[in-house]
């Protein structure tokens, strides 16, 4: 079973996610922004979700983590929880 490790920032609106993405593109640190803005408990750890297996996250989230380029920020990705910016650190 494939597993991966990812960071994410979860916010309520697509606009807020876009604003944070712009800050990342300008060189702001992902983990710092996660601590500041993320509504997920993982925000306290800089958005670190640790290692998880394929299928443990909602499908839209899984698809980014297991199919898209690693070490690149993807999003905003909409789920029932809100809008995510996702950065996959590794997968195997």
| Residue ranges of domains in the chain | 3-91
C-alpha pair distances (Å), 75 with each of 1, 25, 78: 25, 12, 8
Correct CATH for 3-91 of 3.30.70.980, 3.40.50.2000, 3.40.50.450, 3.10.50.40: 3.10.50.40
Q: How many CB atoms lie within 10 A of CB 17?
A: 22
Would you state the pLDDT for residue 23?
98
Residue 36 — very low, low, confident or very high, per pLDDT cuts 50/70/90? Answer: very high
pTM attached to this predicted model: 0.96
Q: What is the mean pLDDT of residues 39-61?
A: 97
Confidence of residue 71 (pLDDT cuts 50, 70, 90): very high
Average pLDDT over residues 43-65: 97
Please give the backbone phi and psi of residue 80, each rounded to the nearest 5 degrees, phi first: -65, -15
Measured distance CA(13)–CA(33) in Å, rounded: 15
């Amino acid at each position: 079973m494939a597993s991966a490790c990812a960071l994410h920032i979860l916010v309520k609106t697509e606009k807020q996610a876009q604003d944070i993405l712009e800050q990342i593109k300008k060189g702001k640190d992902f983990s710092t922004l996660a601590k500041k803005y993320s509504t997920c408990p993982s925000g306290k750890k800089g958005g670190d979700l640790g290692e998880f297996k394929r299928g443990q996250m909602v499908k839209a989230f899984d698809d980014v983590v297991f199919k898209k380029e690693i070490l690149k920020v993807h999003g905003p990705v909409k789920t029932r929880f809100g809008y995510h910016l996702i950065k996959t650190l590794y997968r195997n």
